[in-house]
Amino acid sequence: MAENTDLVEIRGLRSSNGYFKNQELLSVDEIYTKLENRSLHKAGKKMKETIKRVRSDVFLSFPVEFPVSGLRHTTTKNPMEEILSSQSFQGSQHGRREFIDLSFWGAEVPSSDLEKTREAAYMYTRDQVPQCEAEEYREEITQQFANSPAFNKSASRYGNFSFSFPFSDLLSLYRAQFCDGEEPQLSILGTDIYKQEIAHYVVVHSPGESRFMDFPKVPRLQTREEPLPFVYWKDGTLYWRQGRHQEFRGPIQPKCLGPPH
């Protein structure tokens, strides 16, 4: 079978192997298809097995989304001390080529929004199955839906120290410092695939940044129209859409709001 060259092999944190798809946010089904069409290393095989097992999971079909109201940068002790000492955040100067000068922040979803989303997921389930089964799903949804480290402040894989800010405040600061008053741009950087994690990357950058000129932009929607994209703007709020895809993480453009760690 011919190799699928869309995915580039990568080595991530702690020398973990994985794959990267440039300029696209891939769904679970799309990732499974791409992995199926190539020879795989150990991490790819593990991810493929996991996806195969959960492809029919009802949780992946919930048509709900999470508003990204805040961003959180998580790091380890030494980088945390550097940030406090310098009173600034800086982009990475080492690592993968596509990540040079980028600072990484994860979407922070308040517990109140998680509960609203779980309730929306339950209401959706209730309309799809008999009432007695829907009540059984309520407890399962509460226990299992949106329970990955992406939604848990105390369970990050990236360190024990974190800095959290409202997303709107970070954008305002970025606009003032790097955009000459113009609106910051949000572009699709790509998708990372590891054996236990799928990460969607969106990059914030200035309008004149040539590096991301040809990257797809995060769409701005006036009305809700199906099919909705994974990540989109509406009424001044950024949304990450749940449904057949996993975790969102967002790097911010060169030397702006985040540390190199």
Nearest to 66 by CA among 252, 230, 244, 185: 230
pLDDT in tens, 99-135: 888 988 988 888 888 888 888 888 877 777 676 676 7
Arithmetic mean of pLDDT, 238-243:
77
Measured CA to CA, the distance from residue 226 to residue 125 in angstroms comes to: 19
Mean pLDDT (whole number) for 25-33: 88
Single-letter code of the amino acid located at 196: Q
Q: pLDDT, tens digit, for every residue of 225-234? A: 777 788 999 8
Complete DSSP assignment for 131-158: HHHHHHHHHHHHHHTT-SGGG-TT--SS
Taking residues 164-175, report their average pLDDT. 91
pLDDT at 243: 52
Kindly list the distances between the CA atom of residue 200 and the CA atoms of 137, 140, 183, in Å, as whole numbers in the listed order. Answer: 28, 26, 22
How far apart (Å, rounded) are the C-alpha atoms in residues 110 and 124? 21
Q: Most confidently modeled of 80-94, 120-134, 144-158, 214-228?
A: 214-228
Report for 47-56, 93-102, 129-138, 208-217: range of highest mean pLDDT: 208-217
Determine what percent of the chain is predicted with pLDDT higher than 90.
20
Q: How confident is the model at residue 43 (pLDDT cuts 50, 70, 90)?
A: confident
Query: How many C-beta atoms surround the C-beta of residue 121 within 10 A?
Result: 23
Q: In what order do the strands lie in the sheet with 220-221?
A: 65-67, 237-241, 231-234, 220-221
Residue 195 tokens, joined: 């054996």
Mean pLDDT of 78-82: 87
**What DSSP string runs through 15-66?**
G-EEEEEET----HHHHHHHHHTS---HHHHHHHHHHHHHTT-GGGG---EE
Q: How far apart (Å, rounded) are the C-alpha atoms in residues 186 and 191?
A: 15
Domain layout of the chain by residue ranges: 59-109+146-252, 114-144
Taking the model in full, what pTM does it have? 0.82
Confidence label for 79 from pLDDT (cuts 50, 70 and 90): confident
Hey, what are 167's tokens? 């997303």
